[in-house]
Amino acid sequence: MTRWPLALMALMLSAGCAADDMTVEPTLDGQPPIIIAHRGASGERPEHTIAGYRLAIDQGADYIEPDLVLTKDGVLVARHENEISETTDVADHPEFKARKATKTIDGQQVTGWFTEDFTLAELKTLRARERLPKLRSTAYDGKFDIPTFEEILTLLAEVNKGRAKPVGVYPETKHPSYFAAIGLPHEAPLLAMLDRFGYRGRAAPVFIQSFEVGNLMDLRAKSDLPLIQLMDAEGGPADKPDMRYAAMASPAGLKMVAGYADGIGPNKAMVIPRAALGRLGDPTTLVRDAHAAGLKVHPWTFRRENYFLPLGEKGGVNPAGHGDLGAEIRAYLRTGIDGLFSDNSREAVAAVKQGGEP
């Protein structure tokens, strides 16, 4: 592991800090942590748009992250959820009024408009809008359409021409058991599209992620592409009602996960929980335990708005104001995480360049 400069170390020790507080744990492979553009540059453009992905690439992201759902005609498109009223103008289209429905998704009743009830041609008539209008600008609402996974990979093929280190793709299969149950499984079209664009083998610049377990196991049986098991701070996989993420994050659970996945994507609170008054608490052993099992760790999600930041990093009382995202990220870098999801690639890239220094 690396340590702080001796002068700084002595100063902190004189202030009563333990030496262990100043260690910076290594990543699993010793390489700098990767920055994953969470839904694109979603802190500055509507999420899951080509414009947002392109901006994140320009800001230095190592990977862009499309959440993938399917259309009625079986096309993979990028939306955070298959229910699209929060992120598109579908409610403003009278021709689709009758498509509004209530469905049970992963055990929860959801009302709105769903991608699986639209053809790709119909979805392409909709326009994206900001999902968090109380925290972020709506200046770009209505300017961009819903991209297909093919269009996203085409963008990457374009921007990667001549690059020594290509920008990778980090797709998430959203609600895979639900989609499989209605005859629209993710796996075949996802793997076919990745293969078509040359994503093959363990070294391919891709990670496929899911909160569920069964589809990752299915993907492992069909492909050697890197896989990431997502975990939330509460609950468990929708397709495994007898499992809980807390148990999966234990040393024994991580050993089980390592049997089919290459890493975990935990809620960041599982790495450093919030303490009293919303400040950052002490790190857990999750990163160390995952590394011991041979798993990479990519926590989510780092955002610059005060609403999301720990108390010590807030930049005021306005929830939409911006605080010190870099300071929060640097605290996590000291735990040895191998990458992180952020809505703000520019700030995240700068934090990684500074490393774990305060």
Which residues carry out catalysis? 38, 80
112-145 burial, b for 16+ CB within 10 Å, e for fewer?
bbbbbbbebebbeebbbbbbbeebbeeebeeebb
**Interatomic CA distance for residues 335 and 338, integer angstroms:** 9
Q: What is 260-304 written as a DSSP string?
A: T-SEEEEBGGGTS-B-GGG-B----SHHHHHHHTT-EE--B-B--
Task: Note whether 294 and 300 are within 8 A (CB).
Answer: no
Contacts of 160 (CB under 8 A, 6+ apart): 166, 167
Strands (E), the chain: 2-3, 23-24, 34-38, 63-65, 67-70, 76-78, 101-105, 108-112, 168-169, 172-173, 208-210, 227-231, 263-266, 296-297, 339-342
**Interatomic CA distance for residues 33 and 291, integer angstroms:** 14
**Interatomic CA distance for residues 42 and 56, integer angstroms:** 8
Rg (CA), the chain: 20
